[in-house]
């Protein structure tokens, strides 16, 4: 065993990639990553949210960003400041083009430690990584962790090297393992595409495509003579990956002997073949069967949720789950609620049943009713006139849909899932003191996804 405490995977990655950062984009990686991306791009569409792990200088990140467009989001994470500095310089050069990219410096095996990713589990549409999946000692643990951040049905795209790719560094790894020295990368588990398929399957990812990407480095396949072991060992001894071999003269001699042994083991008829190929596995996270209680509730069969006003005079039930939710920051919502916004949930008007009863509190007015307010030609709002709770809003253009104020929903009654807030609307009227949450909801000056003309009826 090594006498010194082995450095951590991330410390080792930082050490190695700090050396590589200034020259990384002059290597074969840009050209290779373009070819790799060509196989991933069919799985991309505008609006997707992608987690690009060990993003390095952003070679894959910015291609992904262009594909998912302004409504999409690419989060790139890398542990090496030098690599990320190159990526950040690209962002700084074209901030508007890449406004959909966020970069964080962190260890990718600890996504939970990134505060900006809090609450993001199960929310990414895709997870990508280029030339990085061989860097982890325990690939199942690494991928299993990442997959938690993926939606069911979301895709994973990762490449791994052919077992005979980079014959020299493969032999360095075998040597280091026999010496008990820490090794940054781990290619030992890679016996072929089936190895990657197995790792993905163990993590709940079903492989849909296994692409053989040839000519990774552009050097093509090579042959080395079995007698070249000593020369290769001596030429490579100053590389970062060989640091563990130089701790002492004895270590160095042992390393050289083991390197030669491992090199010779690979030789066939006096030659060691190097195969310039990687395998790109593209899989999808398994989709669990939706819980039956949340499944399409037929209208009028049972109550999906209920709610009511503060004084209890007005209650309602809905037989269907809300289809969407938004926060409205318009001046009317702000003033009528005395707050920054009103969160609204959209339900089918036919699914709602409204019941008016006598007020429970003596302070409520005797003639309780659902008070209707028309503040504009666009919509009609309804309140409890006894306690003032805003309850409903219906756009006149679309009476089949009713917006229910989410604050009036009785959470204990929920037998369905409430949708996440999908949009922040009427931001042109938002109060300055309101800070929007750091979420992925659409930001709209006026209405969500629809122009004012569409909602209001237009002028033509
Ligand atoms: Zn009331
Ligand atoms: Zn509003």
210-249 pLDDT, tens digit per residue, is: 999 888 888 888 899 999 999 999 998 888 888 888 888 9
Phi, psi for 162 (deg, rounded to 5): -55, 145
Alpha helices, DSSP H only, in 331-376? 331-337
Parts of the chain belonging to CATH 3.40.50.150: 9-285
What does the pLDDT read at residue 323? 87
Confidence at residue 362, expressed as pLDDT on a 0 to 100 scale = 56
CA–CA gap between residue 215 and residue 322 (Å, rounded): 52
Q: What is the mean pLDDT for each group of 10 consecutive residues in the chain (460 residues)?
A: 61 87 92 95 95 97 95 94 95 90 94 88 95 89 94 95 88 87 83 93 94 87 90 89 87 92 91 90 81 41 88 93 92 95 95 83 64 88 94 90 96 88 90 87 70 41
Domain 9-285 has CATH 3.40.190.10: no
pLDDT of residue 366: 59
Distances (CA, A) of 84 to 5, 57, 77, 81, 160: 27, 6, 8, 5, 22
Task: Compute the distance from residue 424 Cα to the ligand 2 centre, in Å.
Answer: 10
Ligand found nearest the CA of 429: 2
Ligand nearest to the CA of 365: 1
Nearest ligand by distance to the CA of 308: 1
What is the distance in A from the centroid of ligand 2 to the CA of 418? 20
Q: Are 368 and 315 a contacting pair, CB within 8 Å? A: no
Considering the chain, tell me which residue range(s) the CATH 3.90.1590.10 domain(s) occupy. 292-456
Q: What's residue 448's pLDDT?
A: 60
Ligand nearest to the CA of 326: 2
Q: What is the DSSP letter of 8?
A: P
Q: Which residues surround ligand 2, an ion (CB under 5 A)?
A: 328, 330, 333
The single-letter DSSP state of residue 37 is H
Report helix, strand or coil for 404: strand
pLDDT computed for residue 72 by the predictor: 92
What are the b/e assignments for 284-320, b being 16+ CB within 10 Å? bbeeeeeeeeeeebeeeeebbbbbbbebbbbbbbbbb
Which ligand ends up closest to the CA of 368? Answer: 1
CATH homologous superfamily, domain 292-456: glutathione-dependent formaldehyde- activating enzyme (gfa) (3.90.1590.10)
Ligand 1 mean position to 328 CA, how many Å? Answer: 22
Q: Which ligand is nearest to the CA of 423?
A: 2
Structure tokens given for 61: 């990140």
Strand partners, 53: 77
Residue 142's φ and ψ, nearest 5 degrees, are -65, -55
pLDDT on residue 360:
57
Extract the tokens encoding 412: 């204990």
Of 364, 188, 200, nearest to 262 by C-alpha is 188
């Amino acid at each position: 065993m090594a006498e010194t405490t082995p450095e951590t995977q991330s410390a080792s990655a930082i050490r190695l990639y700090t050396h590589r950062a200034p020259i990384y984009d002059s290597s074969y990686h840009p050209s290779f990553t373009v070819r790799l991306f060509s196989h991933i791009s069919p799985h991309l569409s505008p609006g997707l949210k992608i987690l690009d792990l060990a993003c390095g200088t952003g070679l894959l990140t910015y291609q992904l960003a262009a594909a998912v467009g302004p409504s999409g989001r690419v989060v790139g994470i890398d542990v090496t400041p030098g690599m990320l500095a190159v990526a950040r310089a690209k962002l700084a050069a074209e901030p508007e083009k890449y406004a959909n990219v966020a970069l964080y410096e962190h260890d990718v095996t600890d996504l939970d430690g990134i505060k900006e990713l809090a609450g993001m589990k199960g929310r990414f549409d895709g997870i990508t990584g280029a030339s990085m999946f061989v860097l982890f000692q325990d690939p199942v643990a690494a991928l299993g962790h990442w997959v938690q951040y993926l939606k069911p049905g979301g895709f994973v795209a990762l490449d791994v090297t052919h077992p005979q790719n980079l014959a020299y560094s493969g032999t360095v790894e075998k040597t280091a393992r026999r010496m008990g020295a820490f090794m940054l990368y781990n290619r030992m588990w890679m016996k072929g595409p089936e190895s990657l398929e197995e790792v993905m399957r163990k993590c709940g990812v079903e492989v849909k495509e296994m692409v053989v990407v040839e000519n990774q480095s552009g050097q093509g396949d090579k042959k080395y003579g079995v007698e070249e072991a000593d020369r290769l060992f001596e030429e490579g001894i100053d590389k970062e990956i060989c640091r563990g071999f130089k701790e002492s003269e004895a270590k160095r001699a042992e390393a050289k002997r083991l390197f030669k042994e491992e090199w010779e083991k690979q030789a066939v008829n006096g030659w060691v073949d190097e195969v310039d190929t990687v395998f790109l596995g593209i899989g999808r996270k398994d989709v669990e069967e939706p819980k039956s209680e949340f499944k399409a509730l037929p209208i009028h069969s049972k109550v999906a949720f209920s709610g009511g006003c503060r004084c209890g005079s007005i209650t309602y039930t809905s037989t269907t789950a809300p289809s969407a939710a938004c926060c409205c920051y318009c001046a009317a919502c702000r003033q009528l609620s005395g707050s920054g916004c009103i969160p609204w949930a959209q339900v089918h008007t036919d699914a709602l049943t409204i019941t008016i009863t006598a007020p429970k509190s003596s302070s409520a007015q005797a003639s309780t009713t659902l008070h209707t307010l028309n503040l504009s030609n666009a919509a009609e709002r309804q309140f409890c006139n006894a306690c003032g709770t805003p309850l409903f809003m219906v756009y006149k253009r679309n009476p089949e849909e009713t917006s229910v104020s989410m604050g009036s929903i009785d959470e204990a009654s929920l037998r369905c899932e409430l949708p996440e807030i999908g949009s922040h609307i009427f931001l042109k009227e938002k109060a300055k003191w309101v800070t929007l949450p750091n979420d992925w909801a659409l930001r709209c000056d006026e209405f969500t996804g629809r122009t004012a003309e569409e909602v209001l009826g237009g002028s033509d």
